[in-house]
Structure 1
Amino acid sequence: KEVVEHLVALKVMRLTKPALISPKIVTCDFKDLPGNILNNFLKDDATSVVQMETLAAGQFLLLPQSFGNIYLGETFSCYVCVHNETNQPVQSVSIKADLQTSSYRIPLTTQQNAAPLMLDVDETLSDVIHHEVKDLGTHILVCEVTYMSNYNTLASFRKFFKFEVMKPLDVKTKFYNAESDDVFVEAQVQNITSGPIILEQVLLDSSPQFTVNSLNEDSDGLSVFGDVTLLQSQESCQYLYCLTPKDNISKDIKLIAAAKNIGKLD
């Protein structure tokens, strides 16, 4: 397939928290065979900290090199940039960005309906897009650039960026039936992301057939887990709730047995 050289270049970067970059430490004693060659090379490394070269301390921020992990409920943000790399102006430049899932396609760019622009030499056309991810599975960011070629015809090209959206939490439940017809629900919430998560609130929304009583607070109404429920990666936390059948079904054994929908966990 013939490779087409375009007049403009497209760059896409996900906007996430940058990381500190540190030098790769390879050193030795000056009496060893390499002498001070490795030490001098480490001192000349731009990412090393002066007089602390062997501590792997970073002083530069590394921009995201890939889309990385994206979890359900996060806001996906990225920077889309079109750059004129030629020595002449490029006419009628426009950007279009869509997010494709298995079931729908969402337009993202804020310049979807903007008029095409002229890019002078070394000029750029950029856009920052945001989207709250609400579905699991494979997502594809489709970026399309259109411009006027040297032959006064519209030219365009696309780039595709695939990423997976994963669950941030894993929830497991257990049920215990009491002799008083109450149902105790134990919910184990586990952080399955690669970083820490703060649980602001975990509630059990009962069905109309039950009333729910949370057993996760003390007598003063304060959480037994403290002011902040912080879960490190792979850590879990157990929550306990008591469900009591309402009066209209508590006196009928058949209605209690048929009451299988107890509610949902939020």
Structure 2
Amino acid sequence: MARPRAASGADVPKEPHAVSLKVLRLSRPSLSYQSPLPAATTKISPKASLSYPSADSDDQFILTPILTLPPAFGSVYVGETFACTLSANNEISADETGRVVTSVRIVAEMQTPSSVAALELDPASDTAQSGLDIGESLQKIVRYDLKEEGNHILAVSVSYTENRISESAQAASGRVRTFRKLYQFVAQPCLSVRTKASELPPLEVDNKSLGPYGKTRLLRFALEAQLENVGDGAVVIKQTRLNPKAPFKCQSLNSDATTSDPFAAAALPTLNPRDVLQVAFLIEQEEGRTEGLEALQKDLRHDGRATLGQLSIEWRGAMGDKGFLTTGNLMSRKRS
């Protein structure tokens, strides 16, 4: 007679957790638009098409006095700070008085295309030792500066202790339970940066260490960069700066070079989607500077190219979202 197959662990129905996890992305609201009716003699009230009719609002203005929360997760861009709130909720029903949840702990990490980073939680205290009453929640906020394109995975682990309370109001038994959830999103570029470096005629200066008529040739380059807005919304370019590598120095050839305040409102260009901004810099070898000179000469002999520096770009979104991007080392063209 055949014996019945023993029940395996996979066949046993899993008991639902007493704690649930909710993840909500933190982002700024957007402006709310409306479509006013044309001013004409009609029986329809001009306020009929307004999103928020009021006595103080302008019936013919396209913007409403209210803000709109994002209806979905939305786009995530490289250079911005990704922020979300993690909420561990006690899901025990009110009629289950014999179960208590204590020692709730949340741990989060971000998996990027190249690394895994543990995330700091705000506030920093990581457990709810006294426990969560029915309907209560433990909330944490995590932030992460996005520096890479591609798939990102937010991994959140929740652990807690579930205690059984006897009729004498004492803990009869307890067990530690844990679960883990993964949330995947794609980080897209907000700005596309294209650069071109052109070598200029060198500047000859006197160098007495080479004799009474000695001359030293100082290298000079012109760097052009095109910044294209490849995102979905308008951005304001707050600052574009070139960080030269020794022994070079840099001079901006852009409009911010004519004002003492680079953050002046009149000097900040706005890029709508697919708009392009072109910037330029003059890069010159600094006279008498020996720092980095040996590495520059070695690169020119080995590869025929010079490392000029890195381009740093800072921008703001339509609602003030901060963005920051730093390119890799920019190289000159290879000498023929």
Give the TM-score normalised by the residue count of structure 2.
Answer: 0.58
Q: Is the 8 A contact 1:49 1:57 kept in 2?
A: no
What is the match of residue 263 of structure 1? 309
Matched residue of 2:107: which SS? strand
Q: Give how far 1:259 is off.
A: 5.4
* Unaligned segments of structure 2, at least 5 residues: 1-9, 35-47, 55-61, 165-173, 203-218, 313-336
Matched, 1:82 2:82: no
> What is the CA–CA distance in structure 1 between the aligned matches of 2:21 and 2:273, rounded to whole Å?
35
Matched residue of 2:16: which SS? coil
Equivalent of 2:141 in 120, 123, 128: 128
What is the match of residue 279 of structure 2? 239
* Unaligned segments of structure 1, at least 5 residues: 24-42
CA 1:183–1:106 in 2, change beyond 3 Å: closer, same or farther? Answer: same
* Aligned-pair identity (%): 29
Equivalent of 2:186 in 145, 148, 164: 164
Paired letter, 1:237: L
Paired letter, 2:18: L
What is the match of residue 104 of structure 1? 116
Matched residue of 2:239: which SS? coil
What is the match of residue 206 of structure 1? 244
Q: Which structure has the larger Rg?
A: 2
> What is the CA–CA distance in structure 2 between the aligned matches of 1:190 and 1:183, rounded to whole Å?
23
Which shows bigger deviation, 229-238 or 134-143?
134-143
Q: Give how far 1:20 is off.
A: 7.0
> What is the CA–CA distance in structure 2 between the aligned matches of 1:150 and 1:218, rounded to whole Å?
64
Q: Give how far 1:265 is off.
A: 1.7
Matched, 1:185 2:223: yes
Write out per-residue CA displacement over residues 201-255 of structure 1, whole angstroms, 9 at most, x where no aligned residue. 11223333443332214884477x9422211122110012223345579xx9xx7
Q: Is the 8 A contact 2:25 2:83 kept in 1?
A: yes
Q: Give how far 1:187 is off.
A: 0.8
Write out per-residue CA displacement over residues 96-143 of structure 1, whole angstroms, 9 at most, x where no aligned residue. 222233422313324564353422222222122223233433221122
What is the match of residue 229 of structure 1? 269
What is the match of residue 152 of structure 2? 139
CA 1:119–1:98 in 2, change beyond 3 Å: closer, same or farther? Answer: same
The CA RMSD measured in Å over matched residues stands at 3.9
CA 1:20–1:83 in 2, change beyond 3 Å: closer, same or farther? Answer: farther
Q: Is the 8 A contact 1:98 1:109 kept in 2?
A: no
Matched residue of 2:277: which SS? strand
Equivalent of 2:22 in 11, 30, 54: 11
Q: Is the 8 A contact 2:150 2:187 kept in 1?
A: yes
Matched residue of 1:141: which SS? strand
Q: Is the 8 A contact 2:237 2:270 kept in 1?
A: yes
Matched residue of 2:197: which SS? strand
CA 1:18–1:90 in 2, change beyond 3 Å: closer, same or farther? Answer: farther
Give the TM-score normalised by the residue count of structure 1.
Answer: 0.71
For these two proteins, the number of residue pairs brought into alignment is 239
CA 1:117–1:173 in 2, change beyond 3 Å: closer, same or farther? Answer: same
